[in-house]
Structures are given as C-alpha cells and as structure tokens.
Amino acid sequence: MANNKYWNWQQEDWPNFSFDPSKLQPKEEKFLHASGVLVGVEKHLSDGDKILILIDSLCNEAVTTSEIEGEIINRDSVQSSFRRRFGLDTDHRRIKPSEEGIAEMMVDLYNTFSEPLTHAHLFKWHQMLLNGRRDLDNVGKYRTHEEPMRVVSGGLDRPTIHFEAPPSRSVPREMERFIRWFNDTAPSGKKFLPPLTRASISHLYFVCVHPFEDGNGRIGRALVEKALAQSMGKPTLLALSETILKNRKKYYTALEENNRSMSIGRWLEYFSETIVAAQDRTVQLTEFVIKKAKFFDRFRDQLNERQTKVLLRIFREGPDGFLGGLSAEKYIGMAKTSRATTTRDLTELVAVKALIKTGTGKGTRYHLKLE
C-alpha cells in the first residue's frame, strides 16, 4: 500500500462522502418525470402482459448482472425458474444451482423491496446467490479471512492493485454503519436522500466495504434496485445491469476512480446517468411488450405454427431485434424446415405486413413491422 491514507475507507471523514447536490438536481427531476411516464405506459398492459414483462425484466437483470462479473448463465433456464416461481407453465428443464439461486434472489428483491435492510436479509441474498458453491469459507455471512480483500489485475510477479477493502475484522462494524445509513436515507428515513443520489452512493459505499468473499457486485446492484424501488413506492426493476454491461469497462473505471477520495461528484454523475439510461431502456422495453401484444392480436389467425415460433424468437431479441435482421438461413434453423417452405412462409409474412423485406439475393433480410 502506498501510504496510510490511500483508500477512501482510510480517510478521517469516511464514510461521509462529499458532493454538490445541485449538480444532480436536473437528473433527479428527469428520473422522477420518467418514473411517471413508466407508470403511464404500464397502465396499457394487461395483467398477463405485466407478469410476462416482469419475468423478462427479472430474467434480463439476472443474466446481465452475472455477465458483468464474467459469469455466463443460461437465459432459458433462468426464465424457466422465474416462470415456475410465478405459477406459469415451464418446460421442466434441469436448472443449475447458480441459475436457481440468482432467480431466487431477484424474486426476493422484488417481493421485499419496501422492507428495511438488515444483516439477515443480506446474508439470505448471499446464500441464494452462491447456491451450490463449495469453494468459499463463508456463504451467507461476511468474510472472515485474514488476507487482504483486493481487486487485482496483471501477473503474480507484478500485480496491479485496483482496490483494497477494509480488513475482515472491520466488516461487521462497517456493515452496521452501512445498513443504518441505507435505512436512514430511505424516503421515510430521518436523513432522506433523493433517489439517484441514494442509489448511486449505496452502490459505491457497499462495494468499497466489499463485505463478502464473492458476489459483492451483484448484491451491490440489487441494492441499487431496492433503493430505486423504495423511492418509486413500487417494485419496478430497471434495466440497470444491461445498461452497465454495454460499457462494462467504463463502470469499473468509474468505481476505481472513486475509491481513493471522499469527493464522489464524478461517480454520482456517471452512475446517475446510467440509472436514467436504464430507466429509458425500461420504458422502451415496456412499450415493446405492448407492441408485441398488439402485433399478435393483429395476426392471430394468419400465422402457422412455424411462423409463430420464429416471430416469438425474434421478439425475444427485444426492441433491437436480430443484428442485421432475419435471414432465410436463420428462419430455416429456427423453424427446422426446408428452403422452399421457408420462402413460402416469409413471402406470406411480408404479404400480410408482419415483416418488412429489405435487400436482394443473399443480402435479403426481414424485419418486424410493429406499427
């Protein structure tokens, strides 16, 4: 370590982060306005669609929050776990403990968003998240090992230390203070903070303490969702991890740039912008589900089984669709049919205006016509 006061938690004023609230005010106002827009959009959803978009949102957040940490989990398995938990039909596939665990944690986050934060709840999340892990000493409890908890890159001979967390012996005291801060700054707390400010600080504060052997990033992002849900008064999951994942390097750089000082203005600016972008994406995804419902209502009696299967698969890609559009080859692979049948199916879909055709020859592509 370079000196005695190298990391933020070693500063005399820790954990009293400093920032200029006025600089966040425009973003706070934008967040509150978009929250109202999202509530308005959701009013156009049927109860069935609300469940489906909830499952899609939970699944997307579970998959992407894991991918940020370099863990790839099976989307179909996670979705099957969510469907079972909400009483919907599933394919009864075998689901890995890690996939079952992240699904269980996300559902618990959704169901308990309004409850005050406790050590017990964090331990429960950690146990769910690391379901099946046998390589850790402490699952469902704070770390206790004596060696430093560090974020390191590079070779063993010349490692680069990006961060070192407080020693394990300090974690219970640090987490007691963090939990008290989190609850005090809630909408009903005695030290209320605006939504973006509280959510952004909660993530940085939590990962700086780094209380667990593993899973700190994922639980830290879950705390952001809990903080935002409490501010909105409803369990709305934003596309936070998906937004972070699009520029994961910027996320880690922003964390590193703000772990050595108590002045966190740049972190708040970066992360509040990320939250607002995630909120915009959530509005976009919700509107997309509404368009999907209208789409299938419009073509309900005009599609055969193959066409329905392929169109549903395209919708699973979200508003952005397939990169480069749907090709005949992709249709053949998804529908498991011949080229002649594929040509006929695609021609019919264009004729009824379910798809738009672009290009010619091998460059022919098809795109959803949603309006």
What is the CB neighbour count within 10 angstroms for residue 347?
11
In a domain, 222, yes or no: yes
Q: Indicate whether 109 and 187 sit together in one domain.
A: yes
Q: What is the CATH number of the domain that holds 102?
A: 1.10.3290.10
Q: Indicate whether 100 and 181 sit together in one domain.
A: yes
Q: Indicate whether 251 and 191 sit together in one domain.
A: yes
How many angstroms separate the CA atoms of 334 and 125, rounded? 37
Q: Are 12 and 174 in contact (CB under 8 A)?
A: no
- 51: which 2 tokens? 């469940």
In a domain, 1, yes or no: no
In a domain, 112, yes or no: yes
In a domain, 223, yes or no: yes
Distances (CA, A) of 290 to 75, 265, 295, 350, 370: 22, 38, 9, 21, 10
pLDDT at residue 3 tops 60:
no
Residue 365 identity: R
Q: Are 197 and 268 in contact (CB under 8 A)?
A: yes
User: Domain ends where: 238, 253, 288?
Assistant: 288
Q: Indicate whether 235 and 305 sit together in one domain.
A: no
Q: What is the mean pLDDT of the chain?
A: 92
Q: How confident is the model at residue 5 (pLDDT cuts 50, 70, 90)?
A: low
Distances (CA, A) of 17 to 21, 199, 291: 12, 13, 44
How many angstroms separate the CA atoms of 322 and 51, rounded? 24
Specify the pTM: 0.86
Instruction: State how many domains the chain has.
Output: 2
Question: What's the chain's Rg over C-alpha atoms?
Answer: 23
Q: Indicate whether 70 and 168 sit together in one domain.
A: yes
Q: Indicate whether 53 and 185 sit together in one domain.
A: yes
Q: Are 147 and 164 in contact (CB under 8 A)?
A: no
Q: Indicate whether 97 and 207 sit together in one domain.
A: yes
User: Domain ends where: 288, 309, 336?
Assistant: 288
Provide the residue range defining the domain that includes 135. Answer: 8-288
Q: What is the CATH number of the domain that holds 353?
A: 1.10.10.10
pLDDT tens per residue, range 45-72: 888 888 888 888 899 999 999 999 999 9
